[in-house]
Structure formats: C-alpha cells, structure tokens
Amino acid sequence: MKVNRNAQRLIEYLREHQPATVARMVLDGVLNAPDASNAIHYGVRRGVFERVAHPGAGPGERPQYRLTGQPLHLSKSVASAPSFDALLAAWGITSASPEWPDERKQLVMVE
C-alpha cells in the first residue's frame, strides 16, 4: 500500500524535523506534493500525525504537523486477507488431497 509506505517515510522525517509543513517536506525532497499530502491525511486519520495549532495563525498560513507517538498499522483489509483454507476448515473439509489406491496394487479376495 503506497500511502502507508509514504506515511512511514514522513514518520522517519518528522522524528528529526518536527513540526513541519507539507511544503517543507516537499522542499526537503521527502515526497512530492500530492504523495506528501495524501500521506499526511492518511496519518492524521489513523492518529499518527496531528496538526499543530499556533495561536494567532491566520487562515492562509500552512499548517504544521507533528508525531503523536501512535504507531502506524496497516489497515485491517490489508493485514488480514480472507483465506480459502480457513473457509474449508470452517466447513470441515480437509485441504489435504485424499489417498487414492495405487494402480499397481491388486485386490485379492480369499474365500
């Protein structure tokens, strides 16, 4: 997942340079502008980054971001993909191949 990798890159950057604006991250060559913006919003939604509020900041000023200390986890849809083997097990169906009789053997009945 690209946005997760990009958010991880921003975490590494912010450990040394926080707080920082998205523009500063782009100028420092961490990511390009769209990727940095997407990664910041992704991290904010997951509680990894927070917007720093400056008293007296005007509406036109670029926001700064810093780390919250929360770890960045993969989303559940990526971390645990459904498994067909789990479905078979839930139905009680074995995933091992059945043992078929060897064609070379002959069945002999004794009376």
Measured CA distances, 64 to 22, 35, 39, 44 (Å): 7, 16, 14, 12
User: Per-residue pLDDT tens for 16-70?
Assistant: 998 999 999 999 999 999 999 999 999 999 999 999 877 777 777 888 999 998 8
Structural domain including 53 reads: 2-90
Higher pLDDT, 82 or 17: 17
Within a domain: residue 97? no
**Based on the structure, what is the number of domains in the chain?**
1
Once rounded to an integer, what is the mean pLDDT over residues 66-85? 72
Within a domain: residue 10? yes
Task: Say which CATH number the domain at 10 has.
Answer: 1.10.10.10
Within a domain: residue 40? yes
Enter the pTM of the model. Answer: 0.62
Within a domain: residue 108? no
Within a domain: residue 106? no
Within a domain: residue 101? no
Measured CA distances, 1 to 61, 73, 104 (Å): 31, 11, 52
Within a domain: residue 16? yes
